[in-house]
Amino acid sequence: MTTEPTPTIAVRTCAAILQGKEICLIHRQRPKGDQHSLPGGLLHPDEEVPAGLARELKEELSLDLAGIPDQPQLRWVQDQTTTRPGSNEPFRRLHLIHVLSIPRHVRDSLTTTEQDAEDATRVVWIPLAQAAAYHLYPAVGQALSQLARPTPTPCAVMLPSITDRTADGDGFATGQ
For the stretch 119-139, pLDDT in tens is: 768 999 999 999 999 989 999
The pLDDT, as a whole number, for residue 167 is 61
Q: What is the mean pLDDT of the chain?
A: 86
Backbone dihedral region for residue 79 (phi beyond 0: left; psi -120 to 50: alpha; all else: beta) = beta
Say how far apart CA 125 and CA 117 lie, in whole Å.
Answer: 18
The separation between the first and the last C-alpha atoms of the chain, rounded to the nearest angstrom, is 47
Residue 49 · residue 72 · CB < 8 Å: no
Fold of 10-163: Nucleoside Triphosphate Pyrophosphohydrolase (3.90.79)
Q: What is the pTM of this model?
A: 0.86
The pLDDT, as a whole number, for residue 145 is 85
pLDDT at position 117 over 80: no
The pLDDT, as a whole number, for residue 168 is 56
Residue 14 · residue 40 · CB < 8 Å: yes
What share of the chain has pLDDT > 90, as a percent?
A: 52
To which H or E segment does residue 54 belong?
helix 49-61
The pLDDT, as a whole number, for residue 176 is 34
Residue 174 confidence class, pLDDT cut points 50, 70, 90: very low
The pLDDT, as a whole number, for residue 108 is 95
Residue 5 confidence class, pLDDT cut points 50, 70, 90: low
Backbone angles phi, psi at 169, to 5 degrees: -65, -15
Higher per-residue confidence, 105 vs 31 = 105
The pLDDT, as a whole number, for residue 152 is 65
Mean pLDDT of 93-114: 94
pLDDT at position 111 over 50: yes
Higher per-residue confidence, 166 vs 16 = 16
